[in-house]
Amino acid sequence: MSDQLIREFEQEYREKKASYPDFKSGDTINVAVKIKEGNKERIQNYQGTVIQRRNEGSNGETFTVRKISNGIGIERIFPIASPNIDAITVVRRGKVRRARIFYLKGRQGKSARIKERLSK
């Protein structure tokens, strides 16, 4: 009973989450982020590798996207149901053996490559 009542407030986030494609760590994704500048709103794309997803199934679920920008590693954490995310698209599926691929942090170049996961 109480679950149904809680769902009343979570429904819109569930729908928002369901509208995004399925992705997991190792995948390269593109996140369209809404950015407010004064009164104007524009969309900025942030593309990188997903290195973890946390608290899956809850409203507070987040995922971390890592990319190398001008030789400096950048990691950005997004709440998946955030109203600031406009769209998520999967660019490339990666084949990795663990859910949190933090070993990427110390690597660059050739050793930081991820094999592509080919769909069945």
Partner 1 sequence: MSGIIGKKVGMTSVYSADGQNVACTIVEAGPCVVSQVKNEETDGYKAVQLSFGERKPKNTPKSLMGHFSKAKTTPKKKVVEFRNFREEFDHLVEVGKEITINEVFAEGEFLDAIGTSKGKGFQGVVKRHNFGGVGQATHGQHNRLRAPGAIGACSYPARVFKGMKMAGRMGGKRVKVINLKVMRIVPEKNLILLSGSVPGSKNSYVVLEK
Q: What are the structure tokens assigned to 16, written together?
A: 């928002």
User: What residues between 76 and 95 interact with partner 1 by CB under 8 A?
Assistant: 79, 81-84
Asked if 21 is part of the footprint of partner 1 (rule: CB under 8 A), the reply reads no
Query: Do residues 43 and 86 lie in contact, with contact meaning Cβ atoms separated by under 8 Å?
Result: yes
The C-alpha atoms of residue 61 and residue 111 are separated, in whole angstroms, by 29
Q: Which stretch binds partner 1 (CB under 8 A): 6-14, 67-75, 88-96, 103-111?
A: 6-14
Q: Would you count residue 10 as binding partner 1 (CB under 8 A)? A: yes
One-letter amino acid of 40: K
- We find the least distance from the C-beta atom of residue 25 to partner 1, in angstroms, to be 21
Of the two residues 44 and 108, which places its CB atom closer to partner 1 in the complex?
Answer: 44
CB-CB neighbours of 30 under 10 Å: 14
43 binds partner 1 (CB under 8 A): no
31 beta partners:
46, 88
- Both tokens of 118, joined, read 């080919």
Tell me if 73 contacts partner 1 by CB under 8 A: no
- The values of phi and psi at residue 33, to 5°, are -105, 130
Binding part of the chain for partner 1, among 24-32, 46-54, 57-65, 93-101 by CB under 8 A, reads 57-65
Residues of the shown chain interacting with partner 1 in the complex, contacts defined by CB under 8 A: 2, 5-6, 8-10, 13, 58-60, 79, 81-84
